[in-house]
């Protein structure tokens, strides 16, 4: 968010944007915010309560307002997508970030390969974990290749496709699986040999980003 914000002309939206900008820069109480915004305390309380309900703001025990998990999740997304885009550009392959939801896995983000022949899964898609694939193996806690840090699969979910995935470890748990998917090559060279190191390095970079943005990580991948 920026202090050099544009004005929409819709009063409540402009006030909301101003509140989020101010709290981002300087966490403060509702009373302090009312003075800063030159609004009545009752109006400020009403807006703050609405923003808390929608997870745009949270109130600490001392009454200080901070940006909430919905904003943090958006900020985290902006940080993750460039990492995945760089991996796509380095490999020429589609990249996906998967998280576990019960006995299914959810594609949280995808950056599609630019080539006409590609393996693609849109963000928002749920797949059963038992359909196979390297990302499912990671989320099920199956062991990675010794000394490699990745898992690869062939035709596990889509005939003629293969993939390599690495765990995104936040704290001590696997929060997500980063996956690169390609068509099986006629020369027999596997996705792990081709891209394993890059996938592991990017998964580690994503993990660090999530560690540094715990609120956004919790909103996207659970606590």
- Same domain for 75 and 61? no
DSSP state of 114: S
CATH number at residue 208: 3.30.450.40
CA angle (70 as vertex; 35, 53 as ends), nearest 5: 60
Range of the domain at 41: 11-67
CA angle (55 as vertex; 82, 169 as ends), nearest 5: 45
| The pLDDT of residue 199 is above 90 | yes
The residue count for the chain: 223
Return the higher-pLDDT residue of 80 and 69: 80
- Same domain for 114 and 163? yes
Q: How confident is the model at residue 73 (pLDDT cuts 50, 70, 90)?
A: low
DSSP state of 129: G
- The half-sphere exposure of 33 on its side-chain side, counting CA atoms within 13 A, is 31
Instruction: Give the Å distances, CA to CA, from 159 to 105, 133, 154.
Output: 19, 11, 8
Helix (H) or strand (E) holding 212: helix 191-212
- Same domain for 92 and 20? no
- Same domain for 76 and 43? no
Residue range 160-182, pLDDT digits in tens: 889 999 999 998 899 999 999 88
| The pLDDT of residue 117 is above 60 | no
The residues with which 183 forms a beta bridge, in sequence order, are: 161
CATH number at residue 49: 1.10.10.10
Among the candidates 27, 42, 67, a domain finishes at 67
pTM over 0.75: no
Residues in CB range of 157: below 8 A, 6 or more apart: 127, 131, 132, 133, 136
The residues with which 165 forms a beta bridge, in sequence order, are: 151, 179
- Same domain for 209 and 111? yes
| The pLDDT of residue 31 is above 90 | yes
- Same domain for 27 and 60? yes
**Residue 8 confidence (pLDDT):** 62
| The pLDDT of residue 12 is above 50 | yes
- Same domain for 142 and 34? no
Evaluate whether residue 47 is within a structural domain: yes
**What is the pairing mode between strands 65-67 and 57-59?**
antiparallel
The residues with which 96 forms a beta bridge, in sequence order, are: 110, 179
CA distance 102 to 112: 26
| The pLDDT of residue 71 is above 80 | no
- Same domain for 77 and 99? yes
Q: How many domains does the chain have?
A: 2
| The pLDDT of residue 1 is above 80 | no
């Amino acid at each position: 968010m920026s202090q050099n914000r544009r004005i929409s002309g819709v009063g409540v939206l402009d006030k909301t944007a101003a509140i989020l900008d101010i709290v981002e820069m300087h966490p403060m109480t509702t009373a302090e915010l009312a003075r800063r915004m030159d609004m009545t305390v009752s109006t400020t309380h009403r807006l703050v309560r609405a923003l808390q309900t929608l997870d745009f703001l949270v109130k600490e025990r001392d009454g200080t307002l901070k940006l909430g998990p919905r904003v943090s999740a958006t900020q985290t997304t902006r940080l993750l997508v460039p990492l995945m885009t760089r991996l796509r550009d380095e490999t020429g392959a589609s990249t996906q970030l998967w998280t576990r939801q019960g006995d299914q896995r959810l594609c949280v983000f995808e950056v599609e390969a630019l080539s006409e022949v590609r393996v693609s899964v849109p963000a928002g898609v749920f797949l059963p974990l038992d359909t196979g694939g390297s990302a499912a193996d990671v989320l099920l806690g199956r062991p990675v290749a010794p000394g490699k840090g990745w898992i690869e699969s062939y035709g596990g979910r889509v005939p003629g496709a293969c993939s390599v995935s690495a765990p995104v470890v936040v704290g001590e748990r696997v929060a997500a699986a980063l996956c690169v998917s390609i068509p099986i090559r006629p020369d027999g060279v596997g996705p792990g040999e081709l891209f394993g190191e890059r996938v592991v390095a990017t998964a580690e970079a994503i993990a660090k980003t999530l560690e540094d943005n715990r609120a956004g990580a919790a909103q996207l991948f659970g606590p």
